[in-house]
Chain A
Amino acid sequence: DAMVIQNPRYQVTQFGKPVTLSCSQTLNHNVMYWYQQKSSQAPKLLFHYYDKDFNNEADTPDNFQSRRPNTSFCFLDIRSPGLGDAAMYLCATSSVTGSQETQYFGPGTRLLVL
């Protein structure tokens, strides 16, 4: 059973054309993350939501925004995609219990910018 679902799996957009990637979870986890992963590199955290609290990484470009309308859904908005934004975008969720936390990843959305 899918626990972290990402749609679409592949997304093609044009340079400068806004695009939205979606993530949903059936785990009822309170934390949701967005990562960017480029080829042969480690996933890079863009931001995360702890419940409704948004936490942006210092080096995440302003071009990237996120929305979490409810516990189950989280969206990544790229306002003006550039060629350098082509990557795999990973959504993850976790449930924090004290100091213990495990992240579970979705299958990712591969973004291609033309």
Chain B
Amino acid sequence: AQSVSQHNHHVILSEAASLELGCNYSYGGTVNLFWYVQYPGQHLQLLLKYFSGDPLVKGIKGFEAEFIKSKFSFNLRKPSVQWSDTAEYFCAVGSASKIIFGSGTRLSIRP
């Protein structure tokens, strides 16, 4: 069965710090990988996605993620965070019209 693990439940950073949020998945077949962001009081928005090809994926707002097949990982990164990045971040794995979400990582940025 598919599963997604986000090990960091709450991350607190200062502005301009670098960010890396971990995501590991369990699935034997071809998967689609996603990061979604949910800003306070807002709906889920797609940050980036990986289907195939270059394992380094660039998304919106300066975020990127790297698919490492051997590690079953799809970690999210940003070199310099801003206060406006405060949000909940969800990693998700999809296949066959079904997406499984991780439990989410809450990111808090100190001004």
Main secondary structure, interface of B, reads strand
Report if A87 contacts B (CB, 8 A): no
In the docked arrangement, what's the CA distance between A94 and B97, Å? Answer: 9
Residues of B within 8 A of A102 (CB): 32, 34, 46, 49
A42-B90, A100-B51 as given contacts; A107 in contact with B101, CB under 8 Å: no
Number of A-B contacts (CB under 8 A): 53
Residue numbers in A under 8 Å from B90 (CB-CB): 42-43
Size bin of chain B's contact surface: 20 to 34
Q: Which residues of A contact B101 (CB under 8 A)?
A: 42-43
Task: Point out the residues of chain A lying under 8 angstroms from B19, CB to CB.
Answer: none
Given the complex of chains A and B, what is the CA–CA distance between A106 and B42 in angstroms?
Answer: 10
How many residues on A have C-beta within 8 angstroms of the other chain's C-beta atoms? 23
3 smallest CB-CB distances across A and B, nearest first, come from: A42-B101, A105-B44, A107-B43
Supply 10 further A-B pairs (C-beta < 8 A) apart from A42-B102, A105-B36.
Answer: A31-B97, A40-B88, A41-B104, A42-B90, A43-B101, A50-B97, A55-B97, A101-B99, A103-B46, A105-B43
B interface with A by C-beta (< 8 Å) = 30, 32, 34, 36, 42-46, 49, 51, 88, 90, 94-95, 97-104, 106
Interface residues of A (CB under 8 A from B): 31, 40-43, 45, 48, 50, 55, 90, 92, 94, 96, 99-108
